Chains A and B, each alone.
Chain A
Amino acid sequence: MTGTALVLGIGNVLWADEGFGVRCVEHLAQTATFGPEVTLLDGGTQGLYLLPFLDAADTLLVFDAVDYGLTPGTMKIVEDDEVPRFMGAKKMSLHQTGFQDVIATSQLMGTCPARLLLVGCQPEELEDYGGGLRPVVAARIPEAVRIARDWLAAEGFASADGETITDNLADVSIRHDAYEGGRPTASEACRTGDARFFPKGA
Chain B
Amino acid sequence: MVVQTPNGYTLDNSGKRIVVDPVTRIEGHMRCEVNVDEQGVIRNAVSTGTMWRGLEVILKGRDPRDAWAFTERICGVCTGTHALTSVRAVEDALSIQIPDNANSIRNIMQLNLQIHDHVVHFYHLHALDWVNPINALRADPKATSELQQAVSPSHPLSSPGYFRDVQNRLKQFVESGQLGLFKNGYWDNPAYKLPPEADLMATTHYLEALDLQKEIVKVHAIFGGKNPHPNWLVGGVPCPINLHGNGATGAINMERLNLVSSIIDKCDAFNKNVYVPDVIAIGGFYKNWLYGGGLSSQACLAYGDIPEHPNDFSPEQLYLPRGAIINGDLTQVHEVDVRDPEQIQEFVDHSWYQYGEEGVGLHPWDGVTEAKFELGPNAKGTKTNIKELDEAAKYSWIKAPRWKGHAMEVGPLARYVVGYAQGHEDISDQVNGLLRTMDLPVEALFSTLGRTAARALESEYCGRLQKYFFDKLVKNCINGDESTANIAKWEPSTWPPKSRGVGMTEAPRGALGHWISIEDARIENYQCVVPTTWNGSPRDTQGNIGAFEASLMNTPMERPEEPVEILRTLHSFDPCLACSTHVMSPDGDELTTVKVR
Contacts and interface: CB of A to CB of B under 8 A. Distances in A.
A126 B585 CA distance: 9
Contact of A171 (B58, B173, B229, B589): B229
A13 interface: yes
Interface stretch (B71-79, B156-164, B458-466): B71-79
A133 B72 CA distance: 19
B62 interface: yes
A91 B75 CA distance: 17
A12 B79 CA distance: 12
A127 interface: yes
Contacts of A197: 52, 582-585
Contacts of B586: 67, 92, 126-127, 199
A130 B58 contact: yes
A44 B211 CA distance: 21
A77 interface: no
A43 B79 CA distance: 12
Interface stretch (A50-58, A139-147, A148-156): A50-58
B585 A46 contact: no
Interface stretch (A23-31, A157-165, A185-193): A185-193
**Interface residue tally on A, bucketed by range:** 35 or more
Given A108-B207, A191-B54, A197-B52, A167 B225 contact: yes
B73 A51 contact: no
B63 interface: yes
A130 B217 CA distance: 28
B499 to A, nearest CB: 19
A109 interface: yes
Nearest to B250: A167
B578 interface: yes
A167 B63 contact: no
Interface string A114-129: 0000000000001101
A129 B229 contact: no
25 contacts: A13-B73, A14-B58, A42-B228, A43-B228, A45-B73, A46-B76, A46-B229, A48-B120, A51-B214, A67-B586, A101-B181, A104-B181, A105-B210, A108-B173, A129-B52, A167-B225, A170-B229, A171-B66, A173-B66, A173-B69, A174-B66, A183-B58, A189-B57, A191-B57, A193-B52
- A-B residue pairs, 4 tightest by C-beta: A130-B58, A184-B61, A104-B180, A45-B76
Given A129-B52, A194-B352, 13 more contacts: A44-B73, A46-B228, A84-B180, A101-B180, A104-B180, A107-B173, A107-B178, A108-B173, A127-B583, A130-B58, A171-B229, A190-B370, A196-B383
